[in-house]
């Protein structure tokens, strides 16, 4: 395990796996590297996986400061420079997908192939309301609050999944993950970053072969945003040559609901196959 210090802030990363090509994984708001807990073991036989925690999360320092996608994207560059990695595949999910889009626009020379999993480029009214509600619940209950975990679960998981025996158990899992990996000031800062972002200009700057993935039941970062936003389909249509994959039956957290299928699609994409289904 390693750390890179950026202006006094330590950013954690770890590199492991059996593949020759590198794969950088970027998790979502509050979940840190644990966001890939269902799929990392499926990736390591194929890639040298770079697990990391964004500034503010997990094993990285958690300064109380302004957060936005550009800041996190530049931190990714610093990690790769510290590790001596010139080129890597990149897989970002949820807010990590948004950070990955900013990274691909700001530092395209570092990316071999790119997966943007359940991303948005700009939040519409509904998404902005989600982020504000999440922030308010975190401030009222703390990161381990059951209400916050329920709110996140009902926006991130499909109704079908939540009605299985694993549904209520997953709410408890989310509570623990959030409490371990995030503080209230950082989480509210991330919610504000997602609410206020406009990453649309970066789409035209992406040069890496790109796959945009999204669950068919994703109501948080949907296939199609409202007129004031830019959802997964908009990103696909505005990144030249990108492919689009819809994970049928899955909500926002396809890596949790359908980990084997999601991992298979991602692995095949990074190995150079065409995988689009939409």
- What is residue 45's predicted lDDT score, i.e. its pLDDT? 97
- What is residue 1's predicted lDDT score, i.e. its pLDDT? 79
Which residue bears the tokens 């998790």?
27
Which domains, and CATH codes, for the chain? 2-122+198-270 (3.40.50.1820)
Q: Per-residue pLDDT for the chain (278 aa), expressed as one digit of tens each?
A: 799 999 999 999 999 999 999 999 999 999 999 999 999 999 999 999 999 999 999 999 999 999 999 999 999 999 999 999 999 999 999 999 999 999 999 999 999 999 999 999 999 999 999 999 999 999 999 999 999 999 999 999 999 999 999 999 999 999 999 999 999 999 999 999 999 999 999 999 999 999 999 999 999 999 999 999 999 999 999 999 999 999 999 999 999 999 999 999 999 999 999 998 98
CA distances from 224 to 12, 198, 213 (A): 34, 16, 12
- What is residue 278's predicted lDDT score, i.e. its pLDDT? 87
CA distances from 264 to 106, 260, 269, 271 (A): 28, 6, 9, 11
Helix (H) or strand (E) holding 155: helix 146-156
- What is residue 274's predicted lDDT score, i.e. its pLDDT? 96
- What is residue 109's predicted lDDT score, i.e. its pLDDT? 98
């Amino acid at each position: 395990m390693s750390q890179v210090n950026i202006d006094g802030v330590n950013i954690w990363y770890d590199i492991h796996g059996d593949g020759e090509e590198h794969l950088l994984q970027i998790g979502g708001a509050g979940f840190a590297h644990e966001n890939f807990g269902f799929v990392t073991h499926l990736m390591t036989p194929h890639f040298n996986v770079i697990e990391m925690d964004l500034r503010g999360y997990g094993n990285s320092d958690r300064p109380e400061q302004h957060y936005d996608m550009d800041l996190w994207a530049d931190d990714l560059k610093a990690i790769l420079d510290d590790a001596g990695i010139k080129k890597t595949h990149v897989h970002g999910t949820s807010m990590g997908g948004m950070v990955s889009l900013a990274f691909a626009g700001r530092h395209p020379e570092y990316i071999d192939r790119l997966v943007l999993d359940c991303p948005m480029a700009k939040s519409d009214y509904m998404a902005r309301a989600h982020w504000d509600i999440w922030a308010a619940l975190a401030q009222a209950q703390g990161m381990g609050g059951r209400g916050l975990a329920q709110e996140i679960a009902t926006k991130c998981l499909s109704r079908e999944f939540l009605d299985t025996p694993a549904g209520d158990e997953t709410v408890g899992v989310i509570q623990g993950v959030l409490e371990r990996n995030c503080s209230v000031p950082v989480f509210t800062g991330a919610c504000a970053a997602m609410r206020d972002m406009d990453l649309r200009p970066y789409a035209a700057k992406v040069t890496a072969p790109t796959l945009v993935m999204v669950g068919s039941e994703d109501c948080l970062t949907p296939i199609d945003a409202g007129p004031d936003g830019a959802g997964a389909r908009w990103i696909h249509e505005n990144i030249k040559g990108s492919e689009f994959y819809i994970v049928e039956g899955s909500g926002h957290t396809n890596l949790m609901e359908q980990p084997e299928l999601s991992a298979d699609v991602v692995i095949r994409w990074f190995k150079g196959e065409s995988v689009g289904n939409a």
